[in-house]
């Protein structure tokens, strides 16, 4: 705690010694996974992001890369990131409660600042998630102290709103799919019906996974408090259910020759499979973190501790390299693998190098100064 001198306890930032390495490692893995799908948006735009046949799939290797991304990456790592965001809100409020009488108000202020960061990021790239996260954060803050069972049920119900929206909006589409626009075709604006689906899908998945994240934080799952046997069962069950569902969804859309009449409903198997797949990935990461620490562990934890800085840096690199430097060369999905490798290598290197010298990432440091409205020591 920090005392202002007049007897009032003041809120202050969390010291690095109080960090949970499980949370940092999960967040680091999630962040590097997110860039795999975001690279498609940076280099190929919205149509190829949602539809493998819309562009960037010139060879069998491109199709293999795209299919791998659809089954193993798409939605899963954003779900993992959302899980950690929800847990982070609960953790922040719990620790702030020991320093201030109004932890919820401080968290709301913190997320209002995140909204400002997100709006600046949105001006650079249309795929920003920070604005959406900030806007739904009051829901998570309000529900953070509910029983884990209640949060799990509520999170699951909210997740299912995405399939409902997919069915309703698919039925409202004209037979020629004219409401899709750039959602299903490269080089044109996203259609109005598709915009509604994107918003509904994002919000339901984000809020649902955030609430599940709070529940898993409360019951000690993502903080590594359960026995090893529990995480092994969780990994087998989660991946055994989630990944086959994602593969089924891809097979269904491919069997329909990527027809517009399955543009929305074709996402349902992947969406339903996302939560179990995320739980499976979480269990694998926890199990890995229980092994003797390696340099890769430490570097991934550093990436997770600088998540905001690294997320913004991924966009800067993606927009600069894939849109302005190589935007006219006819990028393919296989070429994007090279960009992903560059980003991974750079962030695994610079995150640890930075945190060896400084307490916070640069974006995190600025966010903390604005949150607590006083200077924060940066150098170690």
Q: Compute the average pLDDT of residues 55-77.
A: 96
Cβ-based neighbour number of residue 2 at 10 Å: 13
Q: How confident is the model at residue 15 (pLDDT cuts 50, 70, 90)?
A: very low
Buried b / exposed e across 120-142, counting CB within 10 Å, b at 16+? Answer: ebbeebebbbbbbbbbbbebbbe
- Selection from 141, 144, 173, 368 nearest residue 260 by Cα: 173
pLDDT tens digit sequence for 167-181: 999 999 987 778 899
* pLDDT, position 2: 41
Contact of 245 with 269, CB cutoff 8 Å: yes
State residue 188's pLDDT score.
85
Mean pLDDT (the chain) is 93
Alpha-carbon distance values, 116 to 112, 123, 296, 367 (Å): 7, 11, 33, 10
Poorest-pLDDT segment among 3-7, 109-113, 116-120: 3-7
Q: What is the pLDDT of residue 19?
A: 64
Q: Hey, which residues does 9 pair with through a beta bridge?
A: 3
Which pair of tokens denotes residue 302?
């550093």
At 204-240, the pLDDT tens digits run 999 999 999 999 999 999 999 999 999 999 999 999 9
Angle between helix 268-289 and helix 228-255 axes, rounded to 10 deg: 150
* Domain residue ranges of the chain, discontinuous segments joined by +: 11-372
pLDDT in tens, 326-344: 988 889 999 999 999 999 9
pLDDT for 290 equals 94
The model's pLDDT over 357-374, given as tens digits with 9 standing for 90+, comes to 999 999 999 999 999 999
Q: Cα separations (Å) of 267 from 5, 50, 122?
A: 56, 9, 25
Residue 312 neighbours by CB under 8 Å, 6+ apart: 117, 121, 363
pLDDT value of position 187: 79
């Amino acid at each position: 705690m920090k005392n202002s001198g007049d007897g009032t306890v003041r809120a202050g930032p969390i010291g690095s010694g109080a960090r949970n390495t499980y949370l940092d490692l999960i967040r680091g893995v999630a962040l590097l996974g997110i860039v795999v799908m975001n690279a498609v948006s940076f280099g190929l735009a919205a149509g190829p992001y949602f539809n493998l046949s819309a562009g960037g799939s010139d060879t069998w290797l491109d199709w293999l890369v795209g299919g791998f991304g659809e089954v193993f990456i798409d939605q899963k790592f954003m779900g993992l990131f959302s899980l950690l965001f929800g847990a982070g809100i609960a953790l922040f409020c719990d620790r702030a409660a020991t320093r201030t009488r109004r932890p919820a108000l401080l968290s709301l202020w913190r997320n209002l600042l995140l909204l400002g960061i997100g709006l600046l990021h949105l001006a650079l790239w249309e795929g920003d998630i920070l604005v959406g996260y900030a806007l739904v954060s009051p829901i998570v803050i309000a529900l953070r102290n509910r029983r884990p069972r209640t949060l799990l049920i509520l999170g699951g119900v909210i997740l299912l709103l995405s399939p409902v929206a997919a069915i309703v909006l698919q039925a409202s589409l004209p037979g020629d799919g004219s409401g899709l626009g750039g959602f299903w075709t490269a080089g044109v604006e996203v259609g109005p019906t598709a915009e509604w689906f994107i918003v509904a899908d994002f919000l339901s998945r984000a809020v649902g996974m955030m609430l599940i994240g709070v529940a898993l934080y409360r019951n000690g799952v993502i903080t590594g408090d359960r026995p090893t046997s529990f995480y092994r069962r969780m990994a087998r069950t989660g991946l055994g259910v989630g990944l086959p569902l994602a593969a089924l969804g891809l097979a269904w859309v491919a069997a329909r020759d990527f027809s517009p009449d399955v543009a929305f409903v074709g996402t349902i198997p992947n969406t339903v499979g996302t939560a179990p797949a995320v739980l499976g990935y979480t269990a694998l990461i926890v199990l890995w973190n229980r092994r003797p620490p390696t340099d890769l562990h430490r570097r991934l934890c550093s990436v997770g501790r600088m998540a905001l800085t690294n997320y913004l840096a991924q966009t800067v690199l993606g927009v600069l390299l894939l849109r302005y430097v190589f935007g006219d060369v006819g990028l393919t999905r296989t070429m994007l693998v090279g960009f992903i490798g560059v980003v991974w290598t750079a962030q695994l290197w610079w995150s640890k190098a930075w945190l060896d010298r400084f307490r916070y990432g640069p974006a995190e440091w600025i966010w903390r100064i604005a949150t607590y409205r006083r200077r924060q020591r940066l150098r170690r």
